[in-house]
Amino acid sequence: MMQDLQQLTLALSKGRIFDETLPLLEAAGITVTENPETSRKLILATTNPHLRVIIVRASDVPTYVQYGAADFGVAGKDVLIEHGGEGLYQPIDLHIAHCRMSVAVRAGFDYVTAVRQGARLRVATKYVQIAREHFAAKGVHVDLIKLYGSMELAPLIGLSDAIVDLVSTGNTLRANNLVEVEHIMDISSRLVVNQAALKLKREALQPILQAFEQASARMA
Ligand code: AMP
Q: Which atom of ligand 1 is nearest to the CA of 171?
A: 2
Look at residue 108 and give its three-state secondary structure: coil
The finding on whether 170 has its CB within 6 A of some atom of ligand 1 is yes
For 181, phi then psi, to 5°, come to -115, -15
Distance of CA 2 to the CA centre of its chain: 31
CB atoms within 10 A of CB 29: 11
| 90, burial (CB in 10 Å: exposed 0-12, middle 13-18, buried 19+) | middle
pTM for the predicted model, two decimal places: 0.95
The pLDDT, as a whole number, for residue 68 is 97
Answer yes or no: are the C-beta atoms of 25 and 52 closer than 8 Å. Answer: no
User: Mutation test of ligand 1: which of 166, 171, 174, 184 has the most ligand atoms closer than 8 Å to its C-beta?
Assistant: 166
The pLDDT, as a whole number, for residue 1 is 52
The finding on whether 149 has its CB within 6 A of some atom of ligand 1 is no
Share of the chain above pLDDT 90, in %: 94
The pLDDT, as a whole number, for residue 2 is 54
The finding on whether 172 has its CB within 6 A of some atom of ligand 1 is yes
CA of 35 to the centre of ligand 1 (A): 22
Out of 3.30.450.70, 3.40.190.10, 2.60.40.1180, 3.40.50.720, the CATH code matching 2-97+188-219 is 3.40.190.10
Look at residue 107 and give its three-state secondary structure: coil
The finding on whether 38 has its CB within 6 A of some atom of ligand 1 is no
Closest CA to 187 of 107, 116, 127: 127
CA 211, 216, 219, 220 torsion-angle sign:
negative
DSSP states of 132-163: HHHHHHHT--EEEEE-SS-TTHHHHHTS-SEE
* Tens digit of each residue's pLDDT (9 = 90 or more) over 35-92: 999 999 999 999 999 999 999 999 999 999 999 999 999 999 999 999 999 999 997 9
The finding on whether 126 has its CB within 6 A of some atom of ligand 1 is no
The finding on whether 70 has its CB within 6 A of some atom of ligand 1 is no
Stretch(es) of the chain classified as CATH 3.40.190.10: 2-97+188-219, 99-187
Nearest CA, atom 21, ligand 1:
166
* Tens digit of each residue's pLDDT (9 = 90 or more) over 70-85: 999 999 999 999 999 9
Would you identify the CATH topology of the domain 99-187? D-Maltodextrin-Binding Protein; domain 2 (3.40.190)
Closest CA to 103 of 133, 148, 59, 58: 133
Q: Which secondary-structure segment (H or E) carries 212?
A: helix 202-219
Please list, in sequence order, all residues whose beta carbon lies within 8 angstroms of the beta carbon of residue 78, skipping any fewer than 6 positions away: 101, 127, 130, 166, 187
Residue 219 pLDDT level (bands cut at 50, 70, 90): confident
The span from the CA of 103 to the CA of 179, in Å, is 8
The finding on whether 35 has its CB within 6 A of some atom of ligand 1 is no
The span from the CA of 215 to the CA of 35, in Å, is 22
